[in-house]
Amino acid sequence: MIKLVAFDLDGTLTQHKTPLDPKNKSVLDRLSEKYSLLMVGAGQCRRIFNQLGGYPINIIGNYGLQYAEYDSETKDIKIVRDQIFPVDKESVSERIEFARKKYGFTEYKGKSIEFHPSGCVTFPIIGTEALIEDKLSFDPDRVKRRKIYDEICELFNDYIVFVGGSSSFDMSPRPYNKYYALDLYCKEHGLTHDEVAFVGDDYGIGGNDESVYKSDFKFICVDNYLELEEALAELL
């Protein structure tokens, strides 16, 4: 029944913000002989395309706010959809300041908030310019953030909140998440949910793949990107 295989990127095909692993590029090549392939990402399409090393694949970015199609003639992507949502920066800033005081996150380096062009927002708990080693050690098992996740969701109920990276909360304007984006893609391309398999690693509480994991789409869990081929054995 499967016609389309959709992928998360970081943690699924590669390490965080690193180039596509050569072994996993080979896996994609083999899959492309049998199925259509699609990226479903949290970041911008261009960033995802560059990280993939220009791999020929259509890309959903910014949780569905952006969509790009690969052009085989130019060997580049063409942005087809690029929606931008207005942000009430004053309201968001007040709520982040409230959260910082309530949970003791008052010390940070760099900016307290990141406002992205799409309308998405990042709450970098220890700041945008914190040292990478401090970011990685802040909450590696996500226990700190998951403990307050429900309260952050309630505080930012006009957004969908994700436990992002190693030390932040990421937020997208409702109703944009990966499930919404993939469902929209299906409607636009005449696919049913049982014709799609999604491959991801971030399916725990607050993960940006969780919405697909908890849905009726077939979900293939990848807990180690180096074992992607084994995880996809059934499809291969």
SS3 state of residue 204 = coil
Pick the CATH number of 4-83+176-231 from 3.40.50.620, 3.40.50.720, 3.40.50.1000, 3.40.50.11540: 3.40.50.1000
User: pLDDT, tens digit, for every residue of 13-69?
Assistant: 998 889 998 999 999 999 999 999 999 999 999 999 999 999 999 999 999 999 999
Cα distance between residue 48 and residue 54, in whole Å? 9
Cα distance between residue 47 and residue 233, in whole Å? 29
User: pLDDT, tens digit, for every residue of 176-216?
Assistant: 999 999 999 999 999 999 999 999 999 999 999 999 999 99
Cα distance between residue 108 and residue 186, in whole Å? 42
Residue 53 token pair: 């090393």
For 125, 170, 180, 225, the CA distances from 94, given in Å and listed in that order, are: 15, 16, 28, 38
Higher pLDDT, 172 or 15: 172
Q: What are phi and psi of 166, to 5 degrees?
A: -105, -10
Which CATH code for domain 89-173? Answer: 3.30.1240.20
Question: Where are the chain's structural domains?
Answer: 4-83+176-231, 89-173
Query: Which residues are CB-neighbours of 46 under 8 A, at least 6 positions away?
Result: 61, 68, 77
